Structure 1
Amino acid sequence: MAQLFLLIFAGVCAFVPLAAGFGIPKFLEFGDCANVKINPDLNFERYSGIWFNMESVPNEYTPIRDCSMTNYTWMADIMTVVERGLDSEGRKVKRNSVMHRTEGEMGVLTVDAEGVPEAPYKIVATDYDNYACVYSCMSFMGFRAAFSWIFTRSPQPDMTYVSLCRDLMAEQGINPESMQPVRQGQDCPYAEKLPALLEYSQGVQARAKGDEQQRGKGSVTSNAAEIETLRESVAQSQQTMHELEQRIEAGERDLLHTLAQEREREEEEVQELREELVHERRRHRQEQGLPLTTLPPTFTLLAFYT
């Protein structure tokens, strides 16, 4: 990882004067990462479930631009991450990654995603049920690549939580002005199945909260039976999510089929109207004692009114 950073930042330093010409990422800037304080007792199981991205730092290497929805699943010290949304062309995009505990940094996760170097994932603040303020930053040789996100459990949250995250980030030396709003709403792919998605996420949260209460805050179970129960619970949650995805895809197929049928009916109606116009034209000319000349179809409507 360090060698990869060295190559990246060495190249950046060599070409900074010609940044525009060589396409250096816009998110790269001078300075050090913020020294944020993280709760070492974060409960990653309670962090599981669905989060919606309300604000984040733009990143041209991330294809998802709108309707970002991420499902987190914590099991056996590994967090699986599945993000869905729309790219800049409005096409559906899905990204998979995993996160694991960061050695020597309690409460910090490390992101492992294909095609990018490992990066820290720091949950600056969260109440698990409403909001999460997240920060990730890498620095080397006077440069930094800093990112931040504001997540909420609902795509239409109480904006007080967004303001709270911005304030908490500012207190920790993170610039909230670097973030931009992420479009969420009724025209997003998840909209039709939102109640079911939220019910699924709330179920994941409820089970995690119940487990926490049973074993006591901050304790970690080593009991094989409890671990197996947790595995089964996560597997069931993943199956539920898979079924929801299938229902969404089936609904989209039905919608496309319905639209195609409506378009076909509209074309038939247009054709019937054209035939009626031709018939009326002929009748009109007969009543006027005019010859029944044949006009090109493009002139049919005009002929009718002559």
Structure 2
Amino acid sequence: MKSAVFFVAFVAAVAADKIPDFLVPGKCPAVNEKALFEQQIPNHSKYAGVWYEIALTNNPYQLLKQCVRNEYSFAFTAPYVILDTDYENFSCIYSCVEFNYGYYADFAFIFSRSPSLSDQYLRRCEAAFKEIGVDVSRFAKTVQGSNCPYDTQKSL
């Protein structure tokens, strides 16, 4: 019996060591989507178009760290929430997925309609993320600029 308990404890310890860094124990932060929707009904046609990634939370599976530009058409669905946007300058996007055994993975993005974003919009996004409990120190800046070979083809 002792050896069976030891074996189970050993397997659990080894498995815990293999959990990716972006998985966090617990549940996704509560996001009051209804309140966000009432403040500003999402307008997907206004949101569609080109967005430049300004920053995102660290993600080992995000291979591109610079020159990230996407064109969204909203012909798809995704588990994300637009925390704040004015549709013309910036957008703050949050996504969180819960997994079995009490872990979740969350991802946050700051987008701009141009390769740079003014501090006033960065602060608005930081405030929106802080409000739901996202640690803004987790963000990594995406390098954009004149050296970027932006592709004119649609990314998404």
Q: Normalised by the size of structure 1, how large is the TM-score?
A: 0.42
Counterpart pick for 2:30 among 8, 31, 35: 35
> Within 2, Cα distance between the matches of 1:174 and 1:13?
28
Relative contact order higher in (CA < 8 Å, ≥ 6 apart): 2
The 3 A distance-change label for structure 1 pair 45 and 14 is farther
Q: Distance in 1 between matches of 2:94 and 2:15?
A: 27
Q: Specify the alignment match of 1:63 in structure 2.
A: 63
Could you tell me how far apart the structure 2 residues matched to 1:68 and 1:154 are?
11
The count of corresponding residues between Structure 1 and Structure 2 is 138
Output the CA distance in 1 between the equivalents of 2:13 and 2:69: 35
Which runs of 5 or more residues in structure 1 are unaligned?
Answer: 1-11, 79-98, 101-109, 111-119, 194-240, 245-306
Show the counterpart of 1:197. Answer: none
- Specify whether residues 25 and 169 from structure 1 end up closer, same or farther in structure 2 by C-alpha distance, changes over 3 A only: same
Q: How does 1:295-306 map to 2 (within 5 A)?
A: none
Structure of larger gyration radius: 1
CA drift at 1:59? 1.9
Secondary structure, aligned partner of 1:15: helix
- Following the alignment from structure 2 to structure 1, what is the Cα–Cα distance between the partners of residues 61 and 129? 23
Answer yes or no: is 1:137 the counterpart of 2:100: no
Question: 2:73 aligns to what?
Answer: 73
Residue 123 of structure 1, CA deviation: 0.8
Query: Counterparts of 1:44 and 1:37 in 2: how far apart (Å)?
Result: 19
| Cα RMSD (Å) | 2.4
Equivalents in 1 of 2:60, 2:128: separation in Å? 26
C-alpha contact 1:52 1:152 (8 A) present in aligned 2: yes
Q: Offset of 1:173 from its aligned partner? A: 2.1
Provide, for residues 66-112 of structure 1, a one-character-per-residue CA deviation record: whole Å limited to 9, x for no partner: 111110113xxx2xxxxxxxxxxxxxxxxxxxx22xxxxxxxxx2xx
* Other-structure match for 2:131: 171
Distance 1:61 1:157 in 2: 24
Alignment partner, residue 160 of structure 1: 120
Instruction: Give the counterpart of 2:147 among 175, 180, 187.
Output: 187
AA in 2 matched with 1:136: S
Q: Any idea what the Cα deviations from partners look like across 1:189-223, whole Å, max 9, x if unmatched?
A: 12xx9xxxxxxxxxxxxxxxxxxxxxxxxxxxxxx
Q: List runs of 5+ in structure 2 lacking aligned partners.
A: 1-11
CA spacing shift, 1:28–1:186, aligned 2, 3 Å: same
Secondary structure, aligned partner of 2:123? helix
What CA distance in whole angstroms lies between the structure 1 residues aligned with 2:66 and 2:26?
29
Higher helix share: 1
Aligned AA for 2:103? F
CA contact (8 A) 1:29 1:143 kept: yes
Query: 1:136, 1:168 → 2: CA distance?
Result: 13
The SS at the match of 1:67 is coil
CA distance in 2, matches of 1:133, 1:14: 37
1:49 equivalent to 2:43? Answer no
1:201 — aligned with what?
Answer: none
Distance 1:45 1:15, change over 3 A: same
